[in-house]
Amino acid sequence: MPQLAEKDDLISRVVYPDARSYIEEAIKCFEADAYRASVVMMCCAVFQDIRLKAYGLSSYDPWFEKFSKHVEHMRERQDSFESNVMEKVRSAKLFNEEQKSYLERIWRSRNEAAHPTSVTISRQLAEDFIVTGANLFLCDRALLGDPGADIILEQLENLEIFPEGAPVRDGSIAKSMLHDVLLGAAYYKLADKIVKKLSLETTPRFRRNSVAFLKSMAFMRTADSMAALNTALLNRRTPEPSDTWMLEVIAVSPDMLNAVSVAGRKGFDASLADMCRSFDRADIADHVTRFEELLEAVKGALGPIGLNESYPKFRDALVSLVWSQPALVACLATDGALRTSAIYELHQRLEEPAQAGHFVRMLVYRRFEKQLAEVLSDEEAFTILSQIACAAVNRDRECNRLVDDGFANLPSLLAKAVNLARENANEANAILSSYNGHWDLATMRDALGIDEVMDAEAVGVQ
């Protein structure tokens, strides 16, 4: 009696249990030398697999929906749905060329084997039908719909796909996982299921895997992957402030913000701003680099004008998170509302001594003082140093140390401040006077070393 090589492995890889029972019978017939019966049963296995896959995709694609309904209708009437499938063999929608060729051959052999004919089925042909049919159809997940989405969800829940702390740099992992189980038209349903599950209480592993998977989908940048993300994330739901993971996906492909409908942008803008503000102040230091990258990515994709017009609240919220970081320089280097938002946020924050001290530390630690000075006017630089001096008088240690050293660690800002005092003493005095009552004006004049310059300018004006 012939034995089919590696039959256990072949049977274990079959996707659908109904199809598995047919191939098991086909193998039994083959091993009993009943090759005609083996071909008939293998043909049943293949067409059952096609039927189930079409049904699984019916909710994703109109073509599959129509095809599946017709097949089920014929089954209810006890007609041969296999002949209907053969009518569709020429459709590239359902089969590739190798699959088409196989179906033509097994359908012809099945008809010859099931009716009295002089045609014989060789052992080699029967074995080829079993092995090739299993690999082309029964073990192939590439056409799965709902079952495929569930397979990936299960993997995200139970496997360490994306190790903690490992960055997602491309779309390779998502691409390999999706290629095994889903057509592009079905990506949306998977993305939708992931998003819905993320809104519930989930395990840290699922959350980590899912967010990384969505980012990997964004890195793919195919029409199907972006359409799925745009629909599931942007157009079918109102995000909650707790959905901060969305910011990570947007950072990968910020141009997806252009896909939000014009009517929906106002609400989505508010939601994105709420996500940014949901971060506790203590947590900002852990995420500040990510927010800098997000702001730069969004500004690059939408342009300063697009960002200002479409997402003003999101813009302001991001600026408020990176106001003390090098990203502030890029904002101040633009024109219009983005610059206005950045300089307003900076001056507002420096009113608080503790925030002024934090700003001084960041300027020195991240070494962007020169770049900052280059995008500020003399008046703005003078005002910033005035606010730092005010914080020093209010006993912030960082600011006090800086003032005692005559702003030596901020040479570029100091140069601009001194230039204002030299060129426009009245304006400098007006800025200093705006802080009268909060601190001793002499402190600032002495710290800048411009007392004599300003007095000389004043005499000259008289």
pLDDT digits (tens, 9 = 90+) for 7-43: 888 898 898 899 999 999 999 999 999 999 999 999 9
The answer to whether 326 touches 371, Cβ cutoff 8 Å, is yes
> What pLDDT, on the 0 to 100 scale, is given for residue 437?
47
**Alpha-carbon span 106 to 82, nearest angstrom:** 12
Please indicate whether residue 20 or residue 66 has the higher confidence score (pLDDT). 20
DSSP state of 440: -
Residue 102 CB contacts under 8 Å (≥ 6 apart), including other chains: 46, 132, 133, 136, 137
Q: Is 244 helix (H, G, I), strand (E, B) or coil?
A: coil
> What pLDDT, on the 0 to 100 scale, is given for residue 432?
81
Residue 239: alpha-carbon gap to chain centroid = 14
> What pLDDT, on the 0 to 100 scale, is given for residue 54?
79
Among 19, 18, 40, 20, smallest CA distance to 29 is for: 40
| 131-188 per-position pLDDT tens digit | 999 998 888 765 556 667 887 888 899 888 988 878 888 899 888 888 766 767 678 8
**Alpha-carbon span 443 to 403, nearest angstrom:** 8
**Stretch among 10-19, 107-116, 309-318, 343-352 having the lowest mean pLDDT:** 107-116
Angstrom distances, CA of residue 143 to CA of 99, 182, 205, 242: 13, 6, 27, 35
pLDDT of residue 303 exceeding 50, the answer is yes
Average pLDDT, rounded, for the chain: 84
Q: Average pLDDT in the 231-239 region?
A: 85
Vertex 267: Cα angle to 263 and 268 (nearest 5): 95
pTM of the model as a whole: 0.68
pLDDT of residue 270 exceeding 90, the answer is yes
